Structure 1
Amino acid sequence: MEFSEHIKTANVEDVILRQPFRPSIKGTLCVTGHHLLFSDREEDSSWQLLLLLRNIDAIEKRITGSSGTITIKCKDLCVLHLDIPGMEQCLNIASSIEALSSFENIPEMYPFFHRPQDLSLEDTWGLSSTEEDFTHMQELVSKGYDRWRLSLVNSDFSICPSYPSAVIVPRSVDDETLVKAARFRQGGRFPVLCYYHSKNGMVIMRSSQPMTGANRKRCREDELLLQAVIDGSELGYIVDTRSSQQAQQARMTGGGFESKSCYSHWKRLHRHLERGKVLQESLIKLVEACGDQSHSMDRWLSKLENSKWLSHVHCTLSTAGLVAECVERDGHSVLVHGSDGTDTTLLVTTLAQLIVDPQSRTLRGFLRLLEKEWIQAGHPFQQRCAHSAYSHARLKQESPVFLLLLDCVWQLSRQFPLALEFNEMLLLRLAQEAYASDFGTFLCNCEQERCALGVKEKTHCLFQFLLRPSEREQFLNPLYEHTDLAIWPCVQPQSLHLWSGFFLRWTEHAQNMEEARQEIWTIVNQYREKAGVEETSQALSKHCEPLSVVENLMEELTVL
């Protein structure tokens, strides 16, 4: 299919663009197969807007006389207005945008055409692999690592389409047992290792729900697999991200949960986390509340509460803290699953690792964590991020689970401003890229699809790009100080805040925050030079006065 078939009017002159933070501009609007390009008509101006059409969530058109206005609502929550002379031109532009922004054929999406001069398709695509993770685990000085092995049972993705080709499992369990255990788990997602705690040898596993059904079916191989996980321990915990009632109801459709009689050494805990339509509706309500500037204080607080978004943040952090506490403080291994194991399961395992693992709190380590727990582990980005908060075309697969993860990470960064090497700018960039990107990292729903479409051979890797020296500096936290201690989030209502950097990003509030960030970096760089050391924390520790200034600015960021 040719993109030109959908472009009825390619160029329009004398279009007026109205957007946040800038005065209205008159210029030329151009529609291409993947972008909306607006150029300022002033001869001495080089400013232009390049908007990826995939970033458009919804458009509204209004005709007044012989002209019209198109309102573009983007997935990153930005809202633009285009005043277009000529009714026919306005309708043609709107029609082209609607068609080109809703392409579902992955090979026709922009990452397959993106060819920046300083990047090569020969560059390394990802940051890690299961094989590299296993090698690193073997190098850990701790007892018990030899109890695990690398299995290639899923090398052709026939056992579990949403798992990577290699997984880490107990050494005592052979591949034949894994195949039978996979048949007992929804989507074939049998229990696999996602985190090994070097301090005590305990692990975090993830899977999908067991298919026990109404007849309470059992699988000896699945029981054997889980028993091998806690071999030598008295107890393990199963954290089910559904309520007890939901787990019971799942038996009526073939799903279910692990019974006490068959898994006697495992204790099951239910922690209900919403996903799917409920979470999507919560996002829609919150964005609607944030976009209405006419609210009184009482009305705003009421709408914020009714969205229940912060309640989802609370439940997620609380559940992740529970998993981390089981591993770190109680010394027990944990299996996390919900129903299909590709949404709330990954949400919990990621945050639990961020809490207990200091390496996951570095810039590279965090991106590796996302690659392992979300990209390789089969979160269906193509389905979940098809639309954001504005689209009227609701698909039941849509759900802002990844956005909820980034919000929870932001809450951690706010509570522990020195603990994370990366800053809010990275989280904002990831939120934008997950919904619309020049890169192939978030394309498709699983590794099998990426292999079939040649994503790693035909597109560029976002994570590798963000770690380039020219890019990484803007994503660093100038106050970062490494610690081996766990960071335990406070989930009291007064400790959780609206992520204003994202949800109020296109308001004047965000501009003030950006000015504060720039001031922080100015102070940090000045005292780096003055102290003559590269480590920011060492430089600041020698100058109490600037540190207090930086702390005050950080406090302003949370209050603004």
Structure 2
Amino acid sequence: MEFTELIATPKLDGVILHSSFYEPVDGTLCISGHHLLLSSRKEDVQELWLLHQSIDLVEKKPNGTNSNYQNGGTIILKCKDLRILHLDIANTEEFLNVYASIERLSNLDNSIYLYPFFYRPNYNILEDGYTLFKPEIEFAKLLTSDEWRLSHVNKNYSVCASYPSTLVVPKQIDDETLTASANFREGGRFPVLSYRHENGAVLLRSSQPLLNNSNRRCRADEKLLNTILGSTKKGYIIDTRSPGYANHCKSKGGGTEPDGYYPQWRKSHKNLDKIANCTGALLDSFSKLIDACNDVNSSADKWLSRIESSNWLTYVTNALNVSCLVAQCLDQEGASVLVHGTYGLDSTLLVTSVAQVILNPDCRTVRGLQALIEREWLQAGHPFQTRHAKFCYSTARNKNQQPTFLLFLDCMYQLYYQFPCSFEFTTQMLILLFEHSYFSQFGTFLGNCEADREKLEVPKKTTSLWSYLNRPDVLTSLLNPLYEPNKTAIWPSVAPVSLMLWNELYLRWTVEQTQQKKAMNKIYALIQNDKNARSQVIKLRKQLMDLQKEYDTIINIEEAIEDDGETCTT
């Protein structure tokens, strides 16, 4: 396929761009294979540089009331970063051509035509982000023990299509047992290690067992889980579905672990059904939230009512609640935990990720967060390509598209809001992760799993987002000047009064953020100056202490000389 076949009008003068907080711009519109560009000859005028992949919905609106578009019209671009742009085009034929071109280019099905495969960075790659967080590196210390090993049972992705080729498993469990356990789990997602707490308790994740309506057992699966606990310890199975929905899944061959066959494991059901099972409700909820955020004409009471009725913050609350429960089991009871829903691709990863941020201070650093996303989302097989194909504006979205990863980032924001000094990065990094997960020049979030990325040769043909973010000039702009390393767990409040709407993201195109940014920059500058001043004071204090030591030494030498002189005289 040639991109020129999809572009009916590659260049058009006299297009007027309308966007939030800017005056209309009259300029030249250019359509390339991957970008929509609008430039003006006037200086200091906003220009548009938009990836087609970032467009969620294209609408056309004719001028006047004539439905045959004789007077041109307006093309409305609703983007995955929540922007809404308007392009006014006077010529009817060009208006329709531009609309058709953007519609085709923003809905390419084949990943190989996406921009990451064409992007060439204009900077030197200092480190390869695709090799930074391999399991053998992330779990290096753990693998030196007698408890865990690397398994390559899934090296051809034949045991589990959504798992990576290398997995961390108990040393006492052989690959045949793992394969048998995979045959007992939905999609082959047998229990694997997610995190080991400092007290020795471990966090596992998997999909639901396949009971086939007969409570059938799998001795290999039981052996795998019981080996992790040993003969005396107890553990928890956190099923992210309600008892009712778990029973519904049982009627279709799934279900949850039979108590009699897992006596060392205590089970608890938590109602995250709409996240765990891709009903489409999560994206519908977010769509209502954004509709409310974009409504600038509502009264304050009506606006708050619409925010509340969207139920988005309810999802945030529930996710934090379950994550805190898992973290408490690990930290306060020293008990190992297995988390799963139906498929183990959404609510499972959400809960295990947030629990680790609560417990593990390393996950609150830049590198630690990148490693967490690699480990718990990318390597764990969260289907980004499917989930992020459409967003909240699209009228063509389906139940397989939902913003689980954005919900995770919102939970991170809530933790950041309550513990702003415990995170090495600012919320701008979370916003960047949100945007790049939906559209990007980097290949990190391409495909649905490692197998997809290997098939597409993503590590060879694209650039990693981590390679970009870890460049010193980029990294410094993301660091939090308030950061003070906190080695303890952070326990958030989940009371409604403690949770905040993420204004910096959800309202950034409807409420002017310039003054808030200026204020924060001033605060950060003052803090940095204060840190620099404190650093200078500490340095001077050290110099004074060194001088004092030298002075004391000289005095002692002089006193010793005087004493020697007196002794000689005597």
Q: Same fold (TM over 0.5)?
A: yes
Q: Residue 498 of structure 2 aligns with which residue?
A: 495
Q: Residue 142 of structure 1 aligns with which residue?
A: none
- Compare 116-125 and 209-218 and name the one that shifted more: 116-125
Per-residue CA deviation, residues 165-205 of structure 1 (Å, 9 max, x unaligned), is: 1111111111100000000000000000010112x111000
CA distance in structure 2 between the aligned counterparts of 1:518 and 1:122, rounded to whole angstroms: 30
Deviation of the 1:116 alpha carbon: 1.6
Per-residue CA deviation, residues 313-348 of structure 1 (Å, 9 max, x unaligned), is: 000000000000000001100000001001110000
Contact 1:420 1:477 in 2 (8 A): yes
Q: Residue 356 of structure 2 aligns with which residue?
A: 353
Deviation of the 1:395 alpha carbon: 2.0
Equivalent in 117, 122, 130 of residue 112 of structure 1: 117
Deviation of the 1:120 alpha carbon: 4.8
Q: Residue 167 of structure 2 aligns with which residue?
A: 167
Contact 1:134 1:150 in 2 (8 A): no
Contact 1:317 1:491 in 2 (8 A): yes
Distance 1:420 1:57, change over 3 A: same
Percent identity of the aligned residues?
A: 46
2:186 aligned with 1:183, yes or no?
no
Q: Residue 412 of structure 1 aligns with which residue?
A: 415
SS of match in other structure, 1:279? helix
CA distance in structure 2 between the aligned counterparts of 1:480 and 1:409, rounded to whole angstroms: 15
CA distance in structure 2 between the aligned counterparts of 1:98 and 1:196, rounded to whole angstroms: 47
Equivalent in 52, 75, 79 of residue 74 of structure 1: 79
SS of match in other structure, 2:168? strand
Deviation of the 1:534 alpha carbon: 12
Deviation of the 1:217 alpha carbon: 1.1
CA distance in structure 2 between the aligned counterparts of 1:394 and 1:311, rounded to whole angstroms: 22
1:35-50 residue pairs with structure 2 within 5 A? 35-42=35-42, 44-45=43-44, 48-50=47-49
CA distance in structure 2 between the aligned counterparts of 1:175 and 1:250, rounded to whole angstroms: 28
CA distance in structure 2 between the aligned counterparts of 1:479 and 1:122, rounded to whole angstroms: 27
Contact 1:186 1:210 in 2 (8 A): yes
Q: Residue 342 of structure 2 aligns with which residue?
A: 339
Distance 1:418 1:533, change over 3 A: farther
- Tell me the amino acid that sits aligned with residue 5 of structure 1: E
Q: Residue 558 of structure 2 aligns with which residue?
A: none
SS of match in other structure, 1:368? helix
SS of match in other structure, 2:307? helix
What is the aligned length? 529
1:178-217 residue pairs with structure 2 within 5 A? 178-198=178-198, 200-217=199-216
- Tell me the amino acid that sits aligned with residue 524 of structure 2: W
- Tell me the amino acid that sits aligned with residue 5 of structure 2: E
1:418-433 residue pairs with structure 2 within 5 A? 418-433=421-436
- Compare 115-124 and 499-508 and name the one that shifted more: 115-124
- Tell me the amino acid that sits aligned with residue 106 of structure 1: S
CA distance in structure 2 between the aligned counterparts of 1:438 and 1:124, rounded to whole angstroms: 14
Q: Residue 391 of structure 2 aligns with which residue?
A: 388
Per-residue CA deviation, residues 285-339 of structure 1 (Å, 9 max, x unaligned), is: 1111111111112211221121100000000000000000000001100000001
2:94 aligned with 1:95, yes or no?
no
Deviation of the 1:505 alpha carbon: 1.3
CA distance in structure 2 between the aligned counterparts of 1:122 and 1:521, rounded to whole angstroms: 29
- Tell me the amino acid that sits aligned with residue 52 of structure 2: L
Distance 1:227 1:505, change over 3 A: same
Distance 1:533 1:127, change over 3 A: farther
- Tell me the amino acid that sits aligned with residue 62 of structure 2: I
- Tell me the amino acid that sits aligned with residue 390 of structure 1: Y
CA distance in structure 1 between the aligned counterparts of 2:402 and 2:57, rounded to whole angstroms: 17
CA distance in structure 2 between the aligned counterparts of 1:182 and 1:125, rounded to whole angstroms: 27
Deviation of the 1:497 alpha carbon: 1.2
2:485 aligned with 1:486, yes or no?
no
CA distance in structure 2 between the aligned counterparts of 1:254 and 1:511, rounded to whole angstroms: 54
Distance 1:122 1:409, change over 3 A: closer
SS of match in other structure, 1:135? coil
Contact 1:384 1:398 in 2 (8 A): yes
2:314 aligned with 1:311, yes or no?
yes
Deviation of the 1:33 alpha carbon: 0.7
Contact 1:189 1:207 in 2 (8 A): yes
Q: Residue 22 of structure 1 aligns with which residue?
A: 22
Contact 2:201 2:336 in 1 (8 A): yes
2:529 aligned with 1:526, yes or no?
yes
Deviation of the 1:516 alpha carbon: 2.3
- Tell me the amino acid that sits aligned with residue 414 of structure 2: Q
CA distance in structure 1 between the aligned counterparts of 2:537 and 2:186, rounded to whole angstroms: 50
- Tell me the amino acid that sits aligned with residue 523 of structure 2: I
SS of match in other structure, 1:66? coil
Q: Residue 130 of structure 2 aligns with which residue?
A: 125
SS of match in other structure, 1:179? helix
Q: Residue 84 of structure 1 aligns with which residue?
A: 89
Contact 1:121 1:459 in 2 (8 A): no
Deviation of the 1:512 alpha carbon: 3.0
- Tell me the amino acid that sits aligned with residue 159 of structure 2: I
Equivalent in 469, 473, 477 of residue 474 of structure 1: 477
Whichever of the two has the greater Rg, that structure is 2
Contact 2:285 2:312 in 1 (8 A): yes
Q: Residue 549 of structure 2 aligns with which residue?
A: none
Per-residue CA deviation, residues 499-546 of structure 1 (Å, 9 max, x unaligned), is: 1111101123433332222212221332344334699xxxxxxxxxxx
- Tell me the amino acid that sits aligned with residue 360 of structure 1: C
CA distance in structure 1 between the aligned counterparts of 2:204 and 2:263, rounded to whole angstroms: 18
Structure 1 runs not aligned, ≥5 long:
140-144, 536-560
Contact 1:152 1:165 in 2 (8 A): yes
SS of match in other structure, 2:29? strand
Per-residue CA deviation, residues 357-408 of structure 1 (Å, 9 max, x unaligned), is: 0111111111111111001110000000111110010222100000000000
